[in-house]
Amino acid sequence: MSSSTFTTDSRSRSSRAQPAITHIRPHSKTRVAYFHNKDVGSFHYGVGTGVYDTKKTGHPMKPHRLTLTNDLVINYGLHELMDVYCPRMATEAELLEFHESDYVNFLKKITPQNRDTEFADVLGNFNFGDDCPVFDGLWDFCRIYTGASLAAAQKLCMKDMEICVNWSGGLHHAKSYEASGFCYVNDIVLAIRQLLKYYARVLYIDIDIHHGDGVQEAFYCTDRVMTVSFHKYEPGFFPGTGDTTEIGSELGKYYSINVPLKNGIDDDSYVNLFKTIMTEVKDRYQPSVVVLQCGADSLGLDRLGAFNLSIKAHGDCVKIIKSWQIPLLVLGGGGYTIHNVARCWAYETSVLLDANLPNEIPRESKYLDFFEPDYKLHPHLVGRVDNQNTKTDLKRLTEVIFEQLRHLDGAPVVQMQELPDGIAEYLQEADEELADTREDQRANKRIKRSKAHDNEFFDGDSDQEQDEEDTMDLD
């Protein structure tokens, strides 16, 4: 069949996404699902009061970056190349599968109004403070981003998709008993626990500039999950963990891989190191499914970061993992220069779809001013920090990690079980309930594509949000 292309949008001069692969058979095309709740970007962590806000610009974690990302995804036309889901919120019971009951109960009840009265004496017990403030809607925020990661994991478990994307997820610092590093609920751990019910071996990869300590801690004593984290490591840099000596314990010994880096690493050094290490990890561990945390604070010029990565290099890491053709869950994470976060995750969405994006930011974007003065998808992000990672340093680091991997005696073997009760039935019921909605959407597909898309999915008359997981099939 001849390939479909996207021509210049009739509403503006900007071009839309164009498939990078032509003449592809429908059955051979990678199936990608995108999970986005339109409310997730409306929350606000509040004013900054700690060391991260010396310029008084508010708390550095800004969920609005998710709205910017989604806006670019839509205006580049990427949503037309994948299945789009508005996921349900996670339930309290689901959070309790990893987090302690006292902590979950605290999250459920704490508000800015009762923080200094009813809960003043226990804030410190759960590590609430400057980094992890109490803000309006905190409980719903946690359930929204976690619900999206769980829904994405369930899609992979049911073999409905090869790749699932949730940019609102990836909050890798939260512990079972406390908040940490802007993270309250560890959606990654909960998603991996879901995947372990269906897959023998889960490989977790973290390219956030901060060490993925919460995920490593959760799976430190098992060989069912291998964690690999590329991050900045030096005294005083949060979270202070992630040395090469942290290799796992008991059954998990040698299954925690850490790649500690210094300031200013550049594109070539990072991508070459990533490809070299991850190829060896894949060959030795033979993962059944991969979870990739794409924290964008490893980009150059990030508000809290100190690397020199371009958006393309960050995306090259995603491209390498995608090329394995192993079921893949892609999540967000850190990222505090929000217009660059949006650029990065929109570009990486296109990478997952094998689509080419023009460098010009779509002029119809509601948030065009965020991308001034160049209005480009790939701005120049290098130059603030010198590269302190010498070739000798990186060679020695690779040797240390390869030596650790040599201790692995083949991939661990796990006797697979039948699907857990309830999950298959739940997904089947959800699909049946939404069958009529999907038929209506397909019938109106041509009409919708001819109209201007609003920034958020399911706005206005087409809003299909419900308590259960909703879906919009745009293929």
Token reading at 381 = 């992000």
* CB neighbour list of residue 152: distance below 8 Å, 6 or more residues apart: 33, 35, 87, 164, 165, 166, 169, 191, 329
Query: Using CA atoms, how far apart are residues 427 and 270, in angstroms rounded to an integer?
Result: 40
Torsion of CA 115, 116, 119, 121, to 10 degrees: 140
How far is Cα of residue 394 from the mean position of the Cα atoms in its chain?
26
Structure tokens, 81: 């190349």
336 is in an annotated binding site: yes
Alpha helices (runs of H) in 113-251, residue ranges in sequence order? 138-157, 187-195, 213-218
3 state SS of 362: coil
Annotated ligand binding at 140? The verdict is no
The C-alpha atoms of residue 73 and residue 474 are separated, in whole angstroms, by 14
Residue 460 labelled as part of a binding site: no
131 among the known binding-site residues?
yes
Reported in sequence order, the residue ranges of 236-311 that DSSP labels E, i.e. its strands, are: 256-261, 289-293
How do beta strands 202-206 and 225-232 pair?
parallel
Q: Is there a binding annotation on residue 421?
A: no
| Sheet of 256-261, strands arranged across | 256-261, 225-232, 202-206, 289-293, 328-331, 163-166, 32-35, 83-86, 470-472
Q: Report the alpha-carbon distance of residue 197 to residue 219 in Å, rounded.
A: 15
| Residue type at position 44 | H
| Options 79, 172, 173, 453, the catalytic residue | 173
* Contact between 425 and 202 (Cβ < 8 Å): no
160 is in an annotated binding site: no
Query: For residue 254, which of 284, 283, 230 has the smallest C-alpha distance?
Result: 284
**99 among known catalytic residues:** no
Residue 28: partners with Cβ closer than 8 Å, 6 or more residues away: none
Residues comprising the binding site for a divalent metal cation? Answer: 208, 210, 297
Question: Which residues line the annotated binding site?
Answer: 131, 181, 208, 210, 297, 336
Binding residues for substrate: 131, 181, 336
Catalytic residue IDs: 173
